[in-house]
Amino acid sequence: MSERVGLLVFSDGTILQGKGLGASRQGTGELVFNTSMTGYQEALTDPSYAGQVLVFSYPLIGNYGISSSALESKQAWVEGVIVSEAAAQPNHYESHASLDSFLQAENVPGIAGLDTRALVHLIRAGGVKPVAIDVMDASEVSLRSKQLQAAAKSFDYGEVNFVEKVSVKHTTSFLPEKSERTVVLVDCGAKSSIATNLVQRDCTVHQVPYDTTARDILALKPDGVMFSNGPGDPEQLQATVKACKELLGQVPIFGICLGHQILGQALGAKTFKLKFGHRGSNHAVLDVNTDKVMITAQNHGYAVHKLPSAAEEWLVNALDGTNEGLTCDKYDAFSVQFHPEANPGPYDANTLFDQFMEKIG
């Protein structure tokens, strides 16, 4: 049997070859990087990575294996994975699989042995890029290269509604032992730990499809509504923005990540694409009112700007000054650009769920 190799091909024809991991199939997506030292399984199963080929900047990935407790959704959503070194023999009492076997089971192609630091520098200098990735026998490399370049050339991340792909199709409910409140979670690609955090706070959670109307949301008699994280360009979600706008003033609203961008648009703000996004577990966020800093986990490629008078800037990114949070007292709404539910990672922002509980009573 010939050696499996992995190809990463850029739209300009640049080809990088390494050791093949995971599934022998083609993936096409936007090349992005994550700087976290841990949490690779959470990242792989985060729906916000749909449509993206993920480069892990930390040199060794897979050392503590794969566990059933670290899944953020029912499957891996990434189009491909790039690592410097993949641990072949993970060591952890909860581990039941290696990174390689997990990627194979999830039908995700991967490559090990590439210079991930160089890739990070490339993305930081030139921005995120469309690429194609494939795992194959060494004998197929010359034949597949041109096909992969054509696939990379034709891919446009901003033109795809990835939220439609990752959102639930029907309402799913989560019940605590003792229900004190009801929250509707509008699923734009929600991580499972969002619902977990709400249930831990005695909330009945109704997770609804991303395009659910305001009327149908209110029919569930929520004490509060959350708009979740998710992938893609927020401009693709005008039906969700419309529902959010119609809910303003009727029920307290909390937006997370993509949900922050949805709330921003509903209030009249604009969104724009960042050069290379914020993806990692150590991003410093400044509270402009208190000058205190939170360390946060982030995963987004778009940001909110040009806030309307109804919205007050609350948080900013300490590195580039982009908006990280807004409040709107008029409509009892607030949102953050990061992940307060992130696990593992910093817990500085987890109290935002408690702030939401205070708002909904």
In order of their start, the domains of the chain are 4-159 (3.50.30.20), 163-360 (3.40.50.880)
The stretches in the chain having pLDDT less than 50 are: 1
Q: Write out pLDDT tens, residues 28-84.
A: 999 999 999 999 999 999 999 999 999 999 999 999 999 999 999 999 999 999 999
Q: What is the pLDDT of residue 361?
A: 87
257 is known as an active-site residue: yes
Helix extents (H) in the chain: 40-44, 99-105, 116-126, 141-154, 162-166, 192-200, 214-219, 238-247, 258-267, 352-360
CB 182 within 8 A of CB 201: no
Question: H/E/C letters for each residue in 138-206?
Answer: HHHHHHHHHHHHHHHHHCCHHHCCHHHHHCCCCCEEECCCCCCEEEEEEECCCCHHHHHHHHHCCEEEE
pTM for the model: 0.96
Choose among 305, 299, 341: nearest CA to 326: 305
Show Cβ contacts of residue 95 under 8 Å, excluding neighbours closer than 6 positions: 64, 65, 66, 67
Q: Which of 188, 203, 244, 257 is catalytic?
A: 257
Q: What is the pLDDT of residue 1?
A: 44
Q: How far apart are CA 57 and CA 9, in angstroms?
A: 19
339 is known as an active-site residue: yes
Q: Which of 72, 79, 324, 341 is catalytic?
A: 341
260 is known as an active-site residue: no
Choose among 54, 79, 48, 35: nearest CA to 279: 35
Q: What is the pLDDT of residue 3?
A: 81
Q: Which of 260, 278, 300, 339 is catalytic?
A: 339
Q: How far apart are CA 191 and CA 187, in angstroms?
A: 9
Q: What is the pLDDT of residue 347?
A: 81
Choose among 340, 351, 264, 245: nearest CA to 302: 264
